[in-house]
Chains A and B, each alone.
Chain A
């Protein structure tokens, strides 16, 4: 049905796509996968008319068509649910769903008819709300599904979901997938762009893999597996993904006693020894980030004490925590971790400058270049603005800064969120290096597989309080899930 042939797109000197071919048949669910920066989003933008290709052509039913705007693509039945929300928050849900086809009589919007028309699409995605309610009043999962409803209102033949599941919880992903399955039965195709390999295995008929802006091959439903997809995306085999080494534990580096965080429901106590990784697990809102940010001096300590290498932390501020030997890789690296418009070298040095001193620029550049080599940051040199780097490489820059302060304890908040498989593996390898150098690590993550793979112990939080602690040997996905939900683990079982 839709065929893209030899699509090439350049941004300045950078070639985002180099002669990519793609085909989507009627009623087919095709997954488009690749690392960050492999060109997935660019391709989806070209297919949906947001961008125009420099070379190559898009054919619909054998007829060449060059969309010059999203509206044209919509007319031809191609609807994009973009990576970022595109709804108008202050308009009603119904207005958002029917945005391009609001019923008007003599210049007046017919609100009642609008709601009536929007209703079936809201039903289709299973969002139960008043269509006249303001979009901004919806909870986040419903917002995403309303975006899908908006795409459905165009009665598309092909729906492109660009990372639509990345902001959805498990149950909302299920809702979305049941919509995709129903569309498939009706003959509507879906192009699904996702980072989560499990989703591909679950729903896709075929997976197309991009690497560095080129087609890296495709896998049919029967051939798809986590391992094959990962190695195609990275271009090599992932041998030991977590790089877990046996390191003898040393003295306790971080001791948290009866810590109560803002809005907390109970004391939290744990310790981390040199060479040890402690995982923080829990559902969204369980307080993982709050615990890390409290230890790092960003949020106030309500009660309890924090000792680093035996010394009590008194100056409770980000600066005090840094001085005491803590470093935090924050959850939101763009918002909290990086000055995007400045160079790699400056971002690595951020915070090390003495106000009255003169900056040793040569040394700063050299250290930036060292970080690039040591952490394998993909960048031509240390003067590059970090905004131009992909997510995984940006995360490595944050990590490089944390390491430059020679911390005793490293706090990692969702260190692998939104970064590709290859970069994840490298971050795990770096974590291994740090542990060998005698650091202790606390890592919060919502990816249970990662926690199970790399942590020596896992602390499970529920409702901003401790729900339990599991040793590496008896931690399982089920036990963590149970504790996260507020249940009890029977160790005898």
Chain B
């Protein structure tokens, strides 16, 4: 935007003759909604087409479910990270909160003997409270840098997880409910629980962002905090709430991971926060806040999943995943810049 400061009125628009339809026409709106991830979708389609043609077992319902299922917890934490990034923040502590939540859950059930039905909401709320206080308050209220704070809480939570677990993986094999959350079926095996849960979280998040006042406020706070504050919005509370959401969803992801592995490992989820960041950024969410969508985040996460899955099926070294993902990430941000650069001058 600053690259070319010219702000130009469309010539020939005569104010006196204006009579307004209330809105843009629907093709315009549809395009405006789709444009931010047009690039990602086309790469994703090409990729899927390639794997479909070359690998017969790629385009099967089972394999697509498999992609969703293995990436369910990634989708869940990416939803939380999207909220944080929309308000102009970042959460590096995700991986730590995920493992700490898993370990705490295991300890609550096995050592403290708390019933599963109580332990699950307790862990999610606890993770949310941790996000709100340790990340949100220190960043939004005390004004510390999100990078420093969440790097600190990442190290803290990982350390705490190791401490509580005594460095050992906590067995959860006998906990049916937890295992169901991580790998069970909803009614039929065609609907794996983690995938359903992840999509549910995503849809609820998307509805909140799109239709509620809270969603509007999230975008406003990320887009221009000062303008939002002067318009009477409590920006501190909104920022804290975003970190709380990220924390709570990391807690949920921790439970899902523990269920999938039937155990809570204190050193799992390595680099999860960066993978999530890649998904969110691929999905077109701005790093400085104020713009982005959860549909984009889903596409970003699916892209990562498809690349990984396709490489495995094609028996290509999975190490290529990082190379491909990184390249596409930079290209997509570049494409977005070019698109916005053009839009900004009009």
Contacts and interface: CB of A to CB of B under 8 A. Distances in A.
Given A339-B290, A340-B224, A18 B11 contact: yes
Interface string A325-367: 0001010000111111110001001110111111101100110
B230 A341 contact: no
Contacts of A366: 22
Contact of A355 (B9, B214, B224, B290): B214
Interface stretch (B13-21, B45-53, B180-188, B293-301): B13-21
A15 B229 CA distance: 36
B32 to A, nearest CB: 8
B230 A336 contact: yes
Interface in B243-263: none
A358 B343 CA distance: 30
Given A339-B290, A356-B213, A373 B9 contact: no
A372 B223 contact: no
A11 B291 contact: no
A267 interface: no
Given A383-B29, A387-B1, A322 B232 contact: yes
Interface string A303-341: 000000000000000110011000010100001111111
A95 interface: no
Given A18-B11, A335-B226, A354-B213, A340 B1 contact: yes
Contact of A339 (B5, B220, B345): B220
Nearest to B15: A376
Given A12-B343, A212-B11, A373 B224 contact: no
A39 B342 CA distance: 17
A35 B211 CA distance: 38
Given A319-B234, A381-B22, A341 B11 contact: no
Interface in B1-39: 1-2, 4-13, 15-16, 18-24, 28-29, 32
30 contacts: A11-B8, A11-B342, A11-B346, A14-B346, A15-B10, A15-B11, A36-B9, A214-B11, A318-B230, A335-B227, A338-B227, A340-B1, A340-B223, A342-B223, A342-B290, A351-B233, A355-B213, A356-B214, A357-B213, A358-B213, A359-B213, A362-B22, A372-B20, A376-B16, A377-B15, A378-B10, A378-B13, A381-B24, A383-B29, A387-B344
Contacts of B22: 362, 365-366, 368-369, 381-382
B216 interface: yes
Contacts of A350: 220, 227-228, 231, 233
Between A15, A383, A384, A390, the greatest number of chain B beta carbons within 10 A of the residue's beta carbon is seen for A383
A424 interface: no
Contacts of A387: 1, 7, 344
Contacts of A41: 5-6
A337 B224 CA distance: 8
A45 interface: yes
Assign chain A's interface to a size class.
Answer: 35 or more
A156 interface: no
Contact of B5 (A84, A212, A362): A84
Given A340-B224, A342-B220, A372-B18, A365 B231 contact: no
Given A13-B346, A336-B227, A353 B9 contact: no
Contacts of B290: 339, 341-342
Contact of A318 (B12, B232, B342, B345): B232
A356 B238 CA distance: 12
B58 interface: no
Between A16, A41, A373, the greatest number of chain B beta carbons within 10 A of the residue's beta carbon is seen for A16
Contacts of B231: 318, 322, 350-351, 401
A339 B9 contact: no
A246 B229 CA distance: 36
B267 to A, nearest CB: 39
A339 B223 contact: yes
Given A342-B219, A381-B20, A336 B9 contact: no
Interface residues of B, number: 51
A319 B228 CA distance: 10
A131 interface: no
Nearest to A12: B346
B232 A212 contact: no
B6 A45 contact: yes
B212 interface: yes
A393 interface: yes
Interface of B: 1-2, 4-13, 15-16, 18-24, 28-29, 32, 211-217, 219-220, 223-224, 226-234, 290-291, 342-346
Of all A-B residue pairs in the complex, the 3 with the closest CB atoms, nearest first, are A351-B231, A353-B213, A339-B223
Contacts of B213: 353-359
B67 to A, nearest CB: 32
A298 B2 CA distance: 27
A380 interface: yes
Given A37-B8, A335-B226, 19 more contacts: A11-B6, A11-B345, A15-B11, A41-B5, A84-B5, A212-B12, A213-B8, A319-B232, A340-B223, A350-B227, A351-B228, A353-B214, A359-B211, A359-B212, A373-B19, A378-B15, A380-B13, A383-B28, A385-B343
A445 B21 CA distance: 36
Contacts of B28: 383
A193 to B, nearest CB: 12
A214 B8 CA distance: 13
Interface in A114-164: none
A156 B213 CA distance: 56
Given A36-B7, A355-B214, A380-B13, A337 B230 contact: yes
A296 B346 CA distance: 34
Contact of B7 (A319, A365, A390): A390
A476 to B, nearest CB: 34
A391 B214 contact: no
Contacts of B211: 358-359, 361
Interface string A284-306: 00000000000010100000000
Contacts of A382: 20, 22-23
A328 B346 contact: no
Contacts of A323: 232
Given A342-B219, A342-B220, A14 B229 contact: no
A373 B8 CA distance: 20
A39 B7 contact: no
Nearest to A385: B343
Between A37, A296, A335, A381, the greatest number of chain B beta carbons within 10 A of the residue's beta carbon is seen for A381
A359 B23 contact: no
Contact of A373 (B18, B226, B230): B18
A37 to B, nearest CB: 4
B233 to A, nearest CB: 6
A12 B10 contact: no
B16 to A, nearest CB: 8
Interface in A386-409: 387-391, 393, 401
A336 B232 contact: no
A178 interface: no
A260 to B, nearest CB: 22
